[in-house]
Amino acid sequence: MNTVIETLVDIVAKDPYPAEFTSSYWREYGKSNVVERRNGDLYLEDYGIGTVRGSWLAGHTLHAAERFSYRSVSSAYRSYPAMWNLARELARDLRCSLTFDIWKYTVILSLLNDHWIDHKLFPRTVAVIGDGHGFLGALIRRHLKSMRLYCIDIPKTLVFQARNHEAADPQARLAVMSHGGDDSADVVFVLPQDVLQIRDTIDCAINIASMQEMNALTISHYFSFLRQRSSRQSRFYCVNRVEKTLPGGEVARFSEFPWRKDDEIFIDGLCPYYTHFFAKQTLPRGPKILGVRIPFVNYFDGDTMHRLVRLASE
């Protein structure tokens, strides 16, 4: 293991889920994520941080049909063809399948790149809060080669991200913010409690479907950090469920995130690429024809919102 991954594994061994920044969701499901040393090797087993690998059948048939069903969405973004080529290249390098998540990250970067072009923005620093396996961040670095990426997450998940960033770009300089992270690093891994150690202005911050699994303190903490590190050119892209109830009874509502009236909103509404997915298992929440479930097609649990915004500074 390299030094950064060793450092993150040591952090996991001491405190895998910091109590103050860990919701009941991760207290319940986090133990299913395995990060440990076995006979000197790193053993990882993931749960609940996205799907970037799948079977040959799913990858070459179901997900191809899934992408076709969303063709009107992907075709709306001028940048999509080029970004899809980058995503396929990265998926090959990381031995990932072309899952819904891989396609979703491609659409996200396409949407953002179109916006950057239209508004003549040139982001140099990007923060991804809750990037699962790290594919979105790695994809952005394939596109914006000179940018600095901040990967902000709880300790266990950062190990998965560090492993994939190392594989995606073996020449990248990686660092852990709490253990000597410096201005020369290309990718910096940041624990929730350490975000205020970031001194850069954040040109673009992204959160995809993980604030809905955080406690209110953590969400407020991230919004405060972003407001303190924002400029007139900064953007925050947030994609999360309209409402989600966590195992401990907490309810995360998109409308109750700490938005402000003086935030400048560019995109706001139901997310067009988060309506349905294809899977080998047909779930009860899928669509019907004449009262019969359509095989393989399923709806997500509840509506998802997306908002692209310039957060007003504190």
Q: Where are the domains of the chain?
A: 3-310
Q: From CA 14, how far away is CA 31, in angstroms rounded?
A: 14
The gap from C-alpha 60 to its chain's centroid, in whole angstroms, comes to 24
Q: Where are the beta strands (DSSP E) in the chain?
A: 34-38, 41-45, 125-129, 148-152, 174-176, 187-190, 204-208, 235-241, 243-245, 251-253, 264-270, 276-278, 288-289, 292-293, 297-299, 304-310
Query: Per-residue confidence of the chain (314 residues) as pLDDT tens digits?
Result: 578 999 999 999 888 888 888 888 888 877 888 888 888 788 888 877 778 776 655 557 889 999 999 999 999 999 999 999 999 999 999 999 899 999 999 999 999 999 999 999 999 999 999 999 999 999 999 999 999 999 999 999 999 999 999 999 999 999 999 877 667 899 999 999 999 999 999 999 999 999 999 999 999 999 999 999 999 999 999 999 999 999 999 899 999 999 999 999 999 999 999 999 998 777 788 788 777 788 888 899 899 999 999 999 98
Q: At what angle do helices 80-93 and 135-143 cross, to 10 degrees?
A: 120
The reported pLDDT for the residue numbered 58 is: 59
- Three-state DSSP at 168 gives helix
pTM: 0.93
The angle at the Cα of 228, spanning 134 to 184, to the nearest 5 degrees, equals 50
The reported pLDDT for the residue numbered 57 is: 59
**306 near 218, Cβ under 8 Å?**
no
> Which class in CATH covers the domain with range 3-310?
alpha beta
The reported pLDDT for the residue numbered 7 is: 93
